[in-house]
Chain A
Amino acid sequence: MTERNEWQQQQCRSNKILAVWTGLWVLTLALSSFGPQQWWESATMTYLATVVNIIMGAAMIWANKRHLDHQDELQRKVQLEAMSLALGISVVLGLAATSLTQNSLLGFDFEISHLMMVLGVTYIVALLLGMRKYQ
């Protein structure tokens, strides 16, 4: 049998494509966030950078969808479990933190970046646990 079949090659390709679009999205996000403070003062430039960032984000979403399409059924199951756990925990903790903030009971300023960190960490941990579960 061949060393690497078409499915494995396609999966490798979709991984790389997802990595490239994610990298570009992060880069344009940094540009639209820090650009107005560091490199330009024009509001038009900020709008333009934000539009480019949204386009990159859309491409990243498309690449992620294709990445999932190229996975096998067990990999999709692991991804689904990790995503549902990450989404659920983020929604519950996010709304709880918002409620505490509204009542001035949280010791720090709750921001969207905190939610993103919770989402990211939960997703990675859930993904690793899922991969280990089916090893």
Chain B
Amino acid sequence: MKNRLKVLRAERNWTQNDLAQALSVSRQTINAIETGKFDPSLPLAFKIAKVFQCSIEDIFFDE
């Protein structure tokens, strides 16, 4: 699964650490999601969507 996390984060000038703090996860987890090494659970995906104020489909998509 691919995602636009890095782009969305860059648009807001947030560091990985900023996003990690907003989501209550580690910076490594953000990095792993951005690089496609780890797919988040549905609750975390919803949380990410809420932080970026968009839908899950706007962030995550099938390869």
Indicate if the CB atoms of B22 and A75 lie closer than 8 Å. no
A7 at the interface (CB under 8 A from B): yes
Q: Which residues of A contact B (CB under 8 A)?
A: 1-2, 5-8, 72-75, 77, 131, 133-135
- Nearest-Cβ distance from residue B32 to partner chain A, whole angstroms: 4
The residues of B with any CB-CB pair to A shorter than 8 Å are 18, 21-22, 24-26, 28-29, 31-32, 37-38, 40-41, 44
Report the tally of A-B residue pairs with Cβ distances under 8 A: 41
User: CB distance B37 to A134 under 8 Å?
Assistant: yes
Closest beta carbon of chain B to A9's beta carbon, Å: 11
Contacts of A2 in B (CB 8 A): 21
Is B21 a contact of A1 with CB atoms below 8 Å? yes
- 8 Å CB contact of B31 from A1, A133, A135: A135
With A1-B18, A134-B32 already in contact, the answer to whether A72 and B41 are too (CB < 8 A) is no
CA distance A72 to B26 in the complex (A): 7
A75 touches B29 (CB 8 A): yes
Bound-state CA distance A72–B22 (Å) is 13
